[in-house]
């Protein structure tokens, strides 16, 4: 945690200046901020620090908050977003809940009506702290400017330490305007916040090492905690030393190279067959920075049923929450892995297991119909992955089929290069998140792989991409439907279309029994995404032919500025494999 540059110095400043200066002192480089009545003094202060802190104006507060997440997820530093009171603040709520579930460090600053009128139902007043209690790691309503330097220091400390998460600072307008001669480096007042105690004990590390030594069928189950604690290298060392195969959660993709032989790719509902079989049959499950989410476990009693479970996580409340661990370890996962790597030895005898896992991997790869003469979503993603492997590439996604296919078919080899709203599953995440990544990594290739449903939830951010010179690329897998819901309709509800068609309602897909013929395709397209993108000043093209794909992808990648590639894909294509909700690896749907 950086200390205020001015150290012990004191000077008189307004609350708004104190807040903005504290952002600068905490090494914040970019803030996504949308102004309004109750946050104008803060914005005025932002102009006074514009040489040190870039302010990006999103076109919707939610876009700003997801951009802050994009910044944070791709750098590990806290993302910062600001909005005004009332509707400005409530527009942040979804992104705050999202950051909480995915443990993303974020500082959320909201304007608030003046303290004198709080509670009077004033214009644009919302009790945002009340609204956000359950979805923040911590929250403050600043009612005395004297508290502000301490609050900001605590906010950064809490957001970034232990299990990271969003911290809300609600700033009434009169506090923004009042002046104070301040101490820049006050003591924090956090008697109940103990991050310093979260380190594995030597005897626990020995226990884990012993369990590994004795295991016959071990698997590592790696999650977002590995990324949060910057433990990817430690994980790779562990695998190198032991030869144990690794499967990753959606949040964990990138922690272990996707193209390595010991990578079992993703596990869970839409995970690989080999990962789910390996977990089903393992005798030791090494769970690292994960939370046994229901989308991973399916029927939790049957998950890793015959395995001894090692669970290492920094959040004590995750241990034994969904699944009881035999060796629960409360620890920063990087610390635990570094310690483990000092003493760990490979399992004595697990060659047959490695053979078995490798056979599964050969027999049940992720598949799609390569003979189809149009463009399938999986094919488009695989091609994009191939064409971008040799450069610094970041991929964000919306939520739905395209998200799962991106998780399956794009090969991620580095942490923080894959951004997905994984816990909350927020449609509309992709474009603004990509925008935040681009702000943090101006020279990198940043691609939002999106669906036509998700894309339209924050399509207005194309304006931000254009105006703020953030050359984000959008690979739009446009099937004219809410594909994942259609897939469930097809699988479980007799294909009865219930508000899952995104074109005009007179179309036959808009209601009744949907067309289930293979690769069913909508010819008449709505809306005209090329016209929309061009209207925002972005480059754009639309394609439907397989032969056009590679050229179009290269044109997108090489385009100078933001670009939307609208790829017309069929809607009769399901994400497979699939373990239906609450079922087990043995119930996996493969066809």
Partner 1 sequence: MRHVLSAIVQNVPGVLAHISGMLASRGYNIDSLAVGETDDPQLSRMTFVVVGDNRVLEQVRKQLEKIVTVVRVVDVSSQDYVERDLMLMKVKSQTGPERAEIRELVDIFRGSIVDVSADDLMIEISGRENKIEAFIERMRPYGIIELVRTGRIAMVRGGGLDGHRETES
Smallest distance from the beta carbon of 322 to partner 1, in angstroms? 10
- Active site annotation includes 206: no
Q: Interhelix angle for 377-388 vs 549-558, to 10°?
A: 50
- Active site annotation includes 460: no
Burial (0-12, 13-18, 19+ Cβ within 10 Å), 346? middle
Q: Kindly tell me which residue out of 1, 11, 116, 133 binds partner 1, with binding defined by CB under 8 A.
A: 133
Cβ–Cβ < 8 Å for 528, 521: no
Q: Kindly tell me which residue out of 316, 346, 425, 503 binds partner 1, with binding defined by CB under 8 A.
A: 316
Contact region for partner 1 (CB under 8 A) — 85-93, 252-260, 278-286, 319-327?
A: 319-327
Smallest distance from the beta carbon of 282 to partner 1, in angstroms? 24
Dihedral sign for Cα atoms in the order 81, 84, 85, 87: negative
Contact region for partner 1 (CB under 8 A) — 50-58, 101-109, 318-326, 462-470?
A: 318-326
- Of 190 and 210, CB closest to partner 1: 190
Cβ–Cβ < 8 Å for 165, 137: yes
- Active site annotation includes 308: no
Backbone angles phi, psi at 497, to 5 degrees: -75, 115
Cβ–Cβ < 8 Å for 69, 106: yes
Contact region for partner 1 (CB under 8 A) — 98-106, 127-135, 437-445, 484-492?
A: 127-135
Q: DSSP string spanning 367-416? A: ---TT-SB--HHHHHHHHHHHHTTS-EEEEE-SSHHHHHHHHHS---STT
Cβ–Cβ < 8 Å for 284, 218: yes
- What is the footprint of partner 1 within residues 93-112 (CB under 8 A)? none
Cβ–Cβ < 8 Å for 24, 52: yes
- Active site annotation includes 123: yes
Residue 3 tokens, joined: 């200390």
CA angle 288, 65, 62 (to 5 degrees): 120
- Of 133 and 342, CB closest to partner 1: 133
- Of 60 and 139, CB closest to partner 1: 139
**Residues in binding contact with partner 1, number by CB under 8 A:** 20
Smallest distance from the beta carbon of 162 to partner 1, in angstroms? 9
Q: Kindly tell me which residue out of 158, 228, 404, 482 binds partner 1, with binding defined by CB under 8 A.
A: 158
Distance between CA 95 and CA 106 in Å, rounded? Answer: 10
- Of 134 and 202, CB closest to partner 1: 134
- Of 129 and 210, CB closest to partner 1: 129
Smallest distance from the beta carbon of 137 to partner 1, in angstroms? 7
Smallest distance from the beta carbon of 320 to partner 1, in angstroms? 6
Q: Is the omega angle on the peptide bond into residue 577 within 30 degrees of 0, that is, cis?
A: yes
Smallest distance from the beta carbon of 503 to partner 1, in angstroms? 38
- Active site annotation includes 484: yes
Distance between CA 404 and CA 409 in Å, rounded? Answer: 9
270, 248, 251: which is closest to 575 by C-alpha? 270
Mask for 268-307, x = binds partner 1 (CB under 8 A): ----------------------------------------
- Of 54 and 321, CB closest to partner 1: 321
Smallest distance from the beta carbon of 93 to partner 1, in angstroms? 15
- What is the footprint of partner 1 within residues 160-199 (CB under 8 A)? 189-193
Smallest distance from the beta carbon of 289 to partner 1, in angstroms? 16
Of the residues 173, 323, 334, 361, which is catalytic?
173
Q: Interhelix angle for 333-343 vs 202-214, to 10°?
A: 60
Backbone angles phi, psi at 487, to 5 degrees: -60, -40
- Check residue 141 for interaction with partner 1 (CB under 8 A): yes
Active site residues: 61, 123-124, 173, 484
Would you tell me which residues interact with partner 1 (CB under 8 A)? 129-130, 133-134, 137-138, 141, 158, 189-193, 315-317, 319-321, 324
């Amino acid at each position: 945690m950086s200390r205020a540059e001015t150290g012990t110095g004191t000077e008189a400043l307004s609350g708004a200046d104190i807040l903005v200066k504290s952002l600068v002192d905490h090494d914040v480089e970019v803030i996504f901020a949308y102004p309004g009545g109750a946050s104008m003094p803060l914005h005025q202060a932002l102009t006074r620090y514009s040489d040190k802190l870039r302010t990006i104006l999103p076109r919707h507060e939610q876009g700003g908050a997801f951009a802050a997440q994009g910044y944070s997820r791709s750098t590990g530093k806290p993302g910062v977003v600001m909005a005004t009171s009332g509707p400005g603040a409530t527009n942040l709520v979804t992104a705050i809940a999202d950051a909480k579930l995915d443990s993303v460090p974020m500082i959320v600053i909201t304007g608030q009506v003046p303290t004198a009128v709080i509670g009077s139902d004033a214009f644009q007043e919302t009790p945002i702290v009340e609204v956000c209690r359950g979805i923040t790691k911590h929250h403050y309503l600043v009612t005395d400017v004297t508290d502000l330097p301490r609050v900001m220091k605590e906010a950064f400390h809490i957001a970034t330490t232990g299990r990271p998460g969003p911290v809300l600072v609600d700033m009434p307008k009169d506090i923004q305007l009042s002046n104070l001669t301040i101490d820049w480096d006050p003591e924090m007042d956090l008697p109940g916040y103990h991050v310093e105690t979260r380190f594995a004990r030597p005897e626990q590390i020995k226990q884990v090492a012993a369990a590994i030594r004795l295991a016959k069928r071990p698997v590592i189950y790696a999650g977002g905690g590995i990324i949060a604690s910057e433990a990817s290298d430690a994980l790779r060392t562990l695998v190198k030393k032991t030869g144990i195969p690794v499967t990753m959660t959606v949040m964990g993709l990138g922690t272990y190279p996707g193209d390595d032989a010991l990578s079992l790719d993703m596990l869970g509902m839409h995970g690989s067959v080999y990962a789910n079989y390996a977990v089903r049959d393992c005798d030791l499950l090494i769970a690292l920075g994960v939370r046994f989410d229901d989308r991973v476990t399916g029927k939790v009693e049957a998950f890793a049923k015959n395995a001894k479970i090692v669970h290492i996580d920094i959040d004590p409340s995750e241990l034994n929450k969904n699944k009881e661990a035999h060796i629960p370890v409360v620890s920063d996962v990087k610390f635990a892995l570094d310690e483990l790597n000092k003493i760990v030895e490979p399992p004595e005898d697990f060659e047959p297991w490695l053979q078995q896992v490798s056979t599964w991997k050969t027999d049940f790869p992720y598949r799609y119909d390569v003979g189809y003469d149009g463009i399938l979503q999986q094919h488009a993603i695989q091609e994009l992955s191939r064409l971008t492997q040799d450069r610094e590439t970041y991929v964000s996604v919306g939520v739905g089929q395209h998200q799962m296919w991106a998780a399956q078919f794009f090969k991620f080899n580095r942490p923080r290069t894959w951004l997905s709203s994984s816990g909350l599953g927020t449609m509309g995440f992709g474009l603004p998140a990509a925008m935040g990544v681009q702000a943090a990594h101006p020279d990198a290739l940043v691609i939002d792989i999106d669906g036509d449903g998700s894309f339209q939830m924050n399509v207005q951010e194309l304006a931000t991409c254009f105006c703020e010179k953030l050359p984000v690329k959008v690979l739009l897998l446009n099937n004219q439907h809410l594909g994942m819901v259609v897939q469930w309709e097809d699988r479980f509800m007799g294909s009865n279309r219930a508000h899952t068609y995104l074109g005009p309602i007179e179309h036959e897909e808009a209601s009744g029994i949907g067309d289930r013929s293979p690769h069913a395709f909508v010819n008449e397209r709505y809306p005209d995404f090329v016209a929309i993108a061009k209207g925002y000043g972005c480059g754009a093209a639309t394609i439907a032919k397989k032969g056009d794909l590679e050229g179009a992808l290269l044109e997108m990648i090489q385009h100078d500025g933001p670009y939307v590639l609208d790829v017309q894909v069929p809607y009769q294509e399901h994400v497979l494999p699939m373990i239906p909700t609450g079922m087990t690896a043995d119930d996996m749907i493969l066809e």
